Structure 1
Amino acid sequence: MSAAERESATVAGAIAAGASKKGVEAAVAAAGGHPVVHPPGGQPAGHADASDVQRAASGGGSITASVPGGLVRLEPVTVAGKTSVVEVFVPGDELGENTGRDWWMLAGLALLLVGAAVFAVDRLARGAVNSARNLVQAALAVGGGDLGVRIQPSGPRELAEAGYAFNRMADRLITTRRDERELVADLSHRLRTPLTALRLDAEALDPDDTQIGIQFDQAELDRRRGIRRIRQAIVTLEGEVNQLINTTRKAVAAQVAAAPEPGVCDVSEVVRERMTFWSALAGDQNRPYQVVGAQMRIPVPVARAELAAALDAVLGNVFRYTPQGTAFEVGVSRRDGWVALRVDDAGPGIPDPEKALQRGQSNKGSTGLGLDIARRAAQSAGGSVSLARASLGGASIVMMLADADASPKQASRFGLVGRLARERSNRPVRPE
């Protein structure tokens, strides 16, 4: 149809320019010989009907009409008040040429795109489903009483965060159960003092002999029987308290014995692994960050999962309590038998560091246990946690850990952190 439009335009241009009959014939030949010119009032000599030619001439615009074997394009040309019509015939086989191949190509392309989309979604969904299934199985195991089960967080960021939260919850459940049993044992032990006093007072009472042959009146007999019941109740109560103490102590001892030893982990490896996870969220929130000193192996006597949970707790506070776009930095350094794991941010800081380090205390309305997790992890490695003002302007949380490859000495926290600051000043902050 585009070719027919060009051919008719060539002939129509010659007619409009006032070309002679030979000139029009030359234009028809130049157009490929397909156009047919219907002069004013002439009979159609092409494929179009007289009615279609008349309709095109009177309409003032080009039209397309169906004829046997294809289509005709009719374009009127008016010169000196007389209208000629240029006809170009387009066979039907040219209209449908190669359309079958084009449809098959489109169908194949559509199938290819659908297959690729299904494959990509299946890969993504399989990871999410496996992570969710592992989390469900672990939750059922914990619900069944197996508090030692843990999962390897994987899958999308949200499910991975849920996995780490589940592991921390399971650790907390073990600690809570042990603390509760210790509390029960302590309270039971405290009951021994008043029980001992009651037993001594009961022994100081009159005899409770009510044997037959001894003459007692009814009042005396009832009194002696009451004394006997008091002494028997005290003995029974002492036995129950002793049983409760022994049971809780054994349960706590067995739970502590079954707990895994702290072990040794590489601080640098834990930092790199956890920053791989947190860097995705930092990119989503446009937070510039950098990692300093995590290239070399630095072992510390802390379980890998416990150190990862402590670092996650501190970094989680940075993401939770500082505005989006706030820069932060994670640094690792070792000196004089100590390892410093530092997390600095450019946020508003912590107004009351002493209160923030107290268990259950928070100025942000949370549970206040995040820094306590870091503190317990540091104390398990013979270290501590301290808070200060960071060079970035916000809070600086430093976990001091014993170096597993060296004997810890009395090292200045500020000297170790100062070296981290000097190393950081030589490196640009990497935007994500």
Structure 2
Amino acid sequence: MRRRLAILVATTTSLVLVAFLVPLALLIRSFAEDRAVHAATVEAQSLIWMVANTDTAELQRGLRTQGLAEQPVSIYLPDGTVVGEQTPPTRAVELAMRGQSLAAETPEGREILFATVDADGQTAVIRTLVTTEAMSGGVVRSWLILALLGVVLMAVSVLVSDRLAHSLVRPTRRLADVSHRLAGGELDARATPEGPEELRDVAGGLNHLAGRIKELLREERETVADLSHRLRTPLTSMKLEAESLSDPADARRIGASVAELERAVSEIIGDARRRAVETGAHAVPVLCDAAAVVRDRVQFWSVLAEDTERPVELDLALGPVLVALPESDLAACVDALLGNIFAHTPDGSAFAVRLLAWPTGGARLVVADAGPGFAGLIDGHTGPLRRGASGAGSTGLGLDIARRTATASGGTVRLGASEWGGAQITLDLGAPKELSPGQNG
């Protein structure tokens, strides 16, 4: 911004200087010419009386004694005698001999001619030559002074504009720094109102926004706390109802489902609290063993798969396979993908879960099924990756959870077709940043 303002001011100043100095330079040249011509004219006119009242010999003596040496002067007498500067008559002299005073341009400069009457009553011509050097005397020096003045004015204008730009850029950068700190979770960051009135208004608005964000997060924490209390009661009731069932197998199965639901609710509440109070500036890097998490979640869903007669293929890399995700986030992602399989494929459809560890860190998680697959799949990307979009009448949140999980780890997600012709979701999960390549085995 400072550079742009300096360039703008320099351009504007240069245009103003050109519009002012160029006419002034031309005026100086014209003034110098007029001054030299006027001096030569006065000098030549001073000889008219001498030519009209003296003879040739006295005229020659008079020119020598007066010392008129500003410009070369020649007096052409009617008998062809030339007194003073011995210059052959020009066409302008011949014209002036007819009784006409005039000025004429020559390659050497400008000649001034006056026709007068000598002592014998005949026409004589007084000629003086104003050379080009005489007409331009002092012009170059004046132009150099003007050029120096223009450079000084340009430098002063650029310096002043730079100082002005600095007074604008400094508070702007401080506002940007405060906004970055707020985006990083440092909610106590505040901007100091400074600079022009507009920037002070922006600083006030940014401080108000920061206070509002902090207030909303406080309300969110309170809401999460209330939610935890509200959910604990029905979960406890469901657990007691499950324990009262007459069939022990049903009681164990429903009790395990309730316990899993309680665990999921607890993790959701804990995650909401963590994000509500997390500042970001002191965030601790998170990681988990993807092999252990995937194995645990597949074992959980295997019970339901057995009830619905779904073949399950599990291919896991030897652990630990460390990825840059909390255990709860990866577990929620696997649950969402496997839950989609049970919700959107017919009973008896097979599915497979594969986990491949990368030598440089991170892993690739592939979940494939033998269901109907994705509709409108083009080059590995399709609408279901957008939150709330689904081609099967669902909420579309499952694949969005997978996308956000992969992105949070520094990886990517792709959709494709499985070997059975169904859907295949491939997640590339990034390695924890504090691990060196190959450290995760």
TM class, shorter-length: 0.3 to 0.5
Q: Select the structure of larger CA radius of gyration.
A: 2
TM-score, length of structure 2 as denominator length: 0.40
TM-score, length of structure 1 as denominator length: 0.41
